[in-house]
A and B are shown apart, each in its own frame.
Chain A
Amino acid sequence: MFSEISLHILDIVQNSISARASLIEITVNIDNTSDTLTVIIKDNGSGMTDDELSKAVDPFYTTRTTRKNGFGVPFFKAASEMTGGSFEISSEKGKGTAVKAVFVLSSIDRMPLGNMTDTLISLIDTNCRIDFIYNYSVDERSFTLDTRQLKKTLGNVPIDLPEVTVFLTRYLDDNTAEVSGGRKY
């Protein structure tokens, strides 16, 4: 369905945006020792009741009105489980939702992480009122981007200005490469 994990992330975050989250935290952790790539997406949106939550992983459930099936969550679940990994989703009505997918790093069924910079820039540039935290780590190395910190530095200069986007793209690419130690995951 998707060719990259970063497209799944873009899609799952779309649910957080629809749930009117104001803060969305995306974590990508790669651990070569345990041979896992873990993705966690946490939001402070409207959340779900236990009943809604159990339906969210069911491809025939959606609260969207234009089409009968919800695909995003079931696809992400299938993509991680296909590698021999695991999938969890937890939610509390009024508090928020957390999605966690563990991929087996060395599995031939694991799609590449893909372009996280494109995913993050798309999200940050078109949702100026939402804050994003991105944590990326490979074994002992890590870096974090927090748009609350960026916006504080920027003052009344909007985060989606071209000059800022160019800088953020380079910032994400350079730090990702450094944390990855030159490897592509």
Chain B
Amino acid sequence: MKSLEELAVIRDKMQALVNLRNEATDCTKIVVGMATCGIAAGARPVLKAFSDGIQEKGIKDVMVIQEGCIGLCQYEPIVEVTAPGKEKVTYVKMTAEKAAEVIEQHIIGGNVVTKYTINSAM
């Protein structure tokens, strides 16, 4: 059975980084809608793609949050991205592949991926 001992080692290693993170208050928020309709439409792999992608690329100052109903079932999975000082961008009918594009172009590059936004879907 794998034990939790390794966790204390990770804690000691990460302590320094944590203090840095606490100072970073201006952070981009990525909200994934996880109501029944969202999960059925495939929200879990989308959430995972965002968390994994952000971890792999070592992007700081980004929070991935899960929320219940966003109120637009037919557009699920829905993801809302809010960068500090910018307006909220709503991405619809997301997939893990689209999430990777959003990370690359929007989160890292600062350019909204217009073709996946709700405005282009309507």
Residues of A participating in the B interface, judged by any CB pair closer than 8 Å: 1-2, 7, 10-11, 14, 17-18, 64, 66-67, 70-72, 75, 118-119, 121-123, 125-127, 143, 149-150, 153-158, 161-167, 170-171, 174-175, 178
Instruction: List residues of chain A with CB within 8 A of the CB of B11.
Output: 153-155, 157
Find out whether the CB atom of B18 lies under 8 angstroms from the CB atom of A156.
yes
Contacts of B6-56 to chain A: CB distance below 8 A: 6-8, 10-11, 13-15, 17-18, 21, 32, 34-37, 39-40, 44, 47-48, 51, 55
Q: Which residue of B lies closest to A66 (CB)?
A: B71
Instruction: List residues of chain B with CB within 8 A of the CB of A154.
Output: 7, 11
Instruction: List 28 A–B pairs whose Cβ atoms lie within 8 Å, in order of A's numbering.
Output: A7-B44, A14-B34, A17-B68, A64-B35, A64-B69, A66-B73, A67-B37, A67-B73, A70-B36, A71-B37, A118-B44, A119-B44, A121-B51, A122-B34, A122-B47, A123-B66, A126-B47, A126-B65, A127-B66, A143-B1, A150-B4, A154-B11, A155-B11, A156-B18, A164-B14, A165-B55, A166-B55, A174-B2
Find out whether the CB atom of A122 lies under 8 angstroms from the CB atom of B66.
yes
Instruction: List residues of chain A with CB within 8 A of the CB of B66.
Output: 122-123, 126-127
Interface string of B75-114 (1 = CB under 8 A from A): 0000000000000000000000000000000000000000
Instruction: List residues of chain A with CB within 8 A of the CB of B65.
Output: 126
CB distance from A87 to the nearest CB of B (A): 16
Instruction: List residues of chain B with CB within 8 A of the CB of A17.
Output: 68
Contact of B64 among A18, A126, A164 (CB under 8 A): A126
CB distance from A88 to the nearest CB of B (A): 20
Find out whether the CB atom of A14 lies under 8 angstroms from the CB atom of B1.
no
Q: What would 18 more interface pairs be, CB under 8 Å, given A11-B34, A149-B4, A164-B14?
A: A1-B40, A7-B39, A14-B34, A67-B71, A70-B36, A118-B44, A119-B44, A121-B51, A122-B34, A122-B51, A153-B4, A158-B18, A158-B21, A161-B14, A162-B58, A163-B10, A163-B13, A175-B2
> Which of A2, A75, A127, A163: most chain B CB closer than 10 A?
A163
Instruction: List residues of chain A with CB within 8 A of the CB of B13.
Output: 163
Find out whether the CB atom of B39 lies under 8 angstroms from the CB atom of A11.
yes
> Which of B1, B64, B73: most chain A CB closer than 10 A?
B1
User: Bound complex: CA of A154 vs CA of B73, how far in Å?
Assistant: 38
Instruction: List residues of chain B with CB within 8 A of the CB of A66.
Output: 69, 71, 73
Report if A157-B51 is in contact (Cβ < 8 Å); known contacts: A64-B69, A75-B36, A175-B1: no
The 5 closest A-B pairs by CB, nearest first: A162-B55, A126-B66, A66-B71, A174-B2, A72-B36
